[in-house]
């Protein structure tokens, strides 16, 4: 085991010194709501989203490799720069979680993805982080065949992660990522590797995922690489304590960490809930992890109290908040409020501004009861609720990061 690595990681093992991070979303893995301009280029009419690709897979497929490569390289080289990482550090954050898809490293013969370029930008970002005193989680955000059917996996409406060929390629990619970023060269900056983002547990054979994906990855790091690199496992949307008996608990090694993601905007009853109940729910998120055997971090959450950001739910899907949501399969919504002019801060009521700040502060206080937090995400092209840089600019996110206008909400 690397003594240096153990000291590095234990910088963040107490509530007195939590992870306070941001996600670098929509960069090396496209998400339409984060960079809508890339997808608006396909628009054919003003009435619906017909013809607009729903994810990165179809984005590349519709453009063809060479044109997709040209547009994506322009995006990768400009959407994030070292100045953003310097800003992140100056605003009091200490970590960035960087999503990347399997296709950055290896593809199926039938894949349309642009490949073997993103790794350069990931390595560049790790250097930017090191230059600015930030730590990094490398997050494998998309598996072959998709682990959840979300557009953020690269391929929407498909969950074929555990099919043999798909799993073999994903395992190959993961072993490469683990081997590279567990090397001594990276250990001071890359303090964790997330094995897969948001596998949809209810749609997967959990035993197969554990035995054929998660365990081999753990054994590769600990036994083949003899590394103490931190291994991060997303909770697969399972309840608290589900993972308690899987892999060594925190008492033996801080090196296995459970990543919980928390949102209150992806169901009508959440959106329509009384604000006081939303605060209570946020505070309970912090209490739920206190007796888990593994250390935990809230690896995603947001300031959002609506789902009004365009394409948040996916291209062509609409919003639950204003009743326009239409995903089929009996998923319905009803009118709660208007989404009109949602990205204009001057249209926000004072109550909405106050509530957003209260909600964010409750989340931060809750998550700092244990390992800390990584908010989603640092910036978008247009969204206020989902862009930390805009939240900060509008006084909706604490600066300094420990400032509280509404202290004690979770006491």
What are 137's strand-pairing partners?
A: 97, 192
Are 102 and 140 in contact, with CB atoms under 8 Å apart?
yes
Are 199 and 148 in contact, with CB atoms under 8 Å apart?
yes
Backbone angles phi, psi at 230, to 5 degrees: -75, 130
CA distance 259 to 197: 9
CA distance 349 to 335: 19
What are 259's strand-pairing partners?
A: 234, 297
> 198 an active-site residue?
yes
Q: Which of 56, 300, 343, 363 is catalytic?
A: 300
Q: Return the SS3 of 327.
A: coil
Return the closest-CA partner of residue 105 out of 173, 13, 194. 173
Q: Which of 198, 343, 368, 385 is catalytic?
A: 198
Region label for 253, one of left (φ > 0), alpha (ψ between -120 and 50) or beta (otherwise): beta
> 350 an active-site residue?
no
CA distance 131 to 137: 16
Q: What is the largest CA-CA distance in the chain?
A: 60
Are 256 and 231 in contact, with CB atoms under 8 Å apart?
yes
In degrees, rounded to 5, the angle at the alpha carbon of residue 180 between the alpha carbons of residues 175 and 185 is 155
CA distance 79 to 25: 10
Give the active site residues.
Answer: 198, 300
């Amino acid at each position: 085991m690397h003594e240096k690595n153990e000291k590095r990681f234990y910088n963040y093992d107490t509530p007195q010194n939590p992870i306070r991070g941001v996600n670098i979303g929509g960069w090396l893995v496209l998400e339409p709501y984060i960079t809508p301009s890339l997808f608006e280029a396909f628009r054919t009419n003003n009435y619906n989203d017909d013809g607009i690709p729903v994810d990165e897979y179809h984005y590349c497929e519709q453009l063809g490799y060479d044109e997709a490569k040209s547009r994506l390289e322009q995006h990768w080289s400009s959407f994030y720069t070292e100045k953003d990482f310097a800003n992140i550090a100056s605003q009091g954050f200490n970590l960035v979680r960087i999503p990347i898809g399997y296709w950055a490293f290896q593809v199926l013969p039938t894949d349309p993805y642009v490949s073997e370029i993103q790794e350069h930008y990931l390595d560049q970002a790790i250097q930017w982080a090191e230059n600015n005193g930030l730590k990094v989680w490398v997050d494998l955000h998309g598996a072959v065949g998709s682990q959840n059917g979300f557009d953020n996996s690269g391929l929407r409406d498909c969950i074929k992660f555990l099919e043999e060929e798909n799993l073999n390629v994903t395992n190959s990619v993961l072993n490469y990522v683990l081997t590279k970023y567990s090397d001594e060269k990276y250990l001071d900056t890359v303090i964790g590797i997330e094995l897969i983002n948001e596998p949809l547990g209810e749609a997967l054979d959990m035993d197969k995922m554990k035995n054929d994906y998660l365990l081999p990855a753990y054994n590769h790091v600990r036994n083949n690489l003899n590394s103490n690199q931190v291994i991060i496992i997303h909770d697969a949307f399972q309840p608290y304590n589900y993972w308690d008996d899987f892999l060594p608990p925190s008492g033996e090694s801080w090196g296995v960490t459970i990543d919980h993601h928390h949102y209150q905007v992806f169901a009508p009853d959440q959106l329509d809930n009384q604000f006081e109940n939303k605060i209570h729910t946020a505070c309970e998120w912090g209490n739920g992890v206190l007796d888990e055997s593994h250390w935990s971090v809230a690896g995603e959450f947001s300031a959002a109290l609506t789902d009004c950001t365009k394409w948040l739910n996916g291209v062509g899907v609409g919003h639950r908040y204003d009743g326009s949501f239409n995903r089929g399969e009996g998923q319905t919504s009803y009118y709660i409020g208007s989404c009109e002019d949602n990205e204009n801060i001057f249209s926000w009521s004072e109550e909405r501004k106050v509530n957003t700040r209260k909600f964010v502060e409750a989340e931060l206080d809750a998550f700092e009861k244990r390992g800390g937090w990584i908010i989603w995400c640092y910036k978008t092209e247009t969204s206020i609720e989902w862009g930390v840089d805009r939240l900060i600019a509008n006084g909706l996110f604490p600066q300094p990061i420990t400032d509280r206008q509404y202290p004690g909400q979770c006491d």
